Amino acid sequence: MRQFPNLNATLKGNEIIQFGHVNVSVAVTVPGGLMTVVVKDADIKSLRQISGEIKTMAARARDGKVKPEDVDGSTFSTSNLGMYDVEEFIAIVNPPEAAILAIGSAKETPVVANGEIKIGSRMKATISVDHRVSDGAEAAQFMQALAGFLENPVRMLV
């Protein structure tokens, strides 16, 4: 997110305001619909910390015991329908945010690697962006960087 500041921004009047923190919301299924819980300062936390926080906040949300700080302050959203075996979808931007990442399910599929056909896992993800704040080029570069992290997860640890 730090590499793509307009995706971690908002539009206030005619001014684009880039956030100084990266607070990522994650959609959680709750009785009667969806709720987003927010991982504050996600860019400076370990994957283990992020996972633990999401599990704790999601459990509170499902139990109807959500805290105000669990749902406040998001600067970027993610939505994962892959757990429902949805291959791909388009998520709607949650104002005042500028972007949302839609994550589909991973599927085994034939892939070509070094000139040979092999079985590999592939996942589809799409990004929706408020074009008043960012553009398709920045969104495409973000998706390219995300693919690099997913294909080589050790890079997330550096």
What residue numbers bound the domain in which 148 lies?
Answer: 5-157
Whether pLDDT at 156 is above 80: no
Rounded distance between C-alpha atoms, residue 24 and residue 37, angstroms: 8
> What are 76-116's pLDDT values in tens digits?
999 999 989 999 999 999 999 999 999 999 999 999 989 99
Residue 21 among the catalytic residues: no
Shortest CA distance to 103 belongs to which of 129, 134, 81, 120?
A: 81
Whether pLDDT at 152 is above 90: no
Could you tell me the CATH number of the domain that includes residue 97? 3.30.559.10
Rounded distance between C-alpha atoms, residue 40 and residue 69, angstroms: 9
Task: State residue 158's pLDDT score.
Answer: 60
Q: Which of 67, 107, 122, 131 is catalytic?
A: 131
Taking the complete model, does pTM exceed 0.75, yes or no? yes
Count of structural domains, the chain: 1
Task: State residue 154's pLDDT score.
Answer: 78
> What are 6-48's pLDDT values in tens digits?
999 999 999 999 999 999 999 998 988 889 999 999 999 998 9
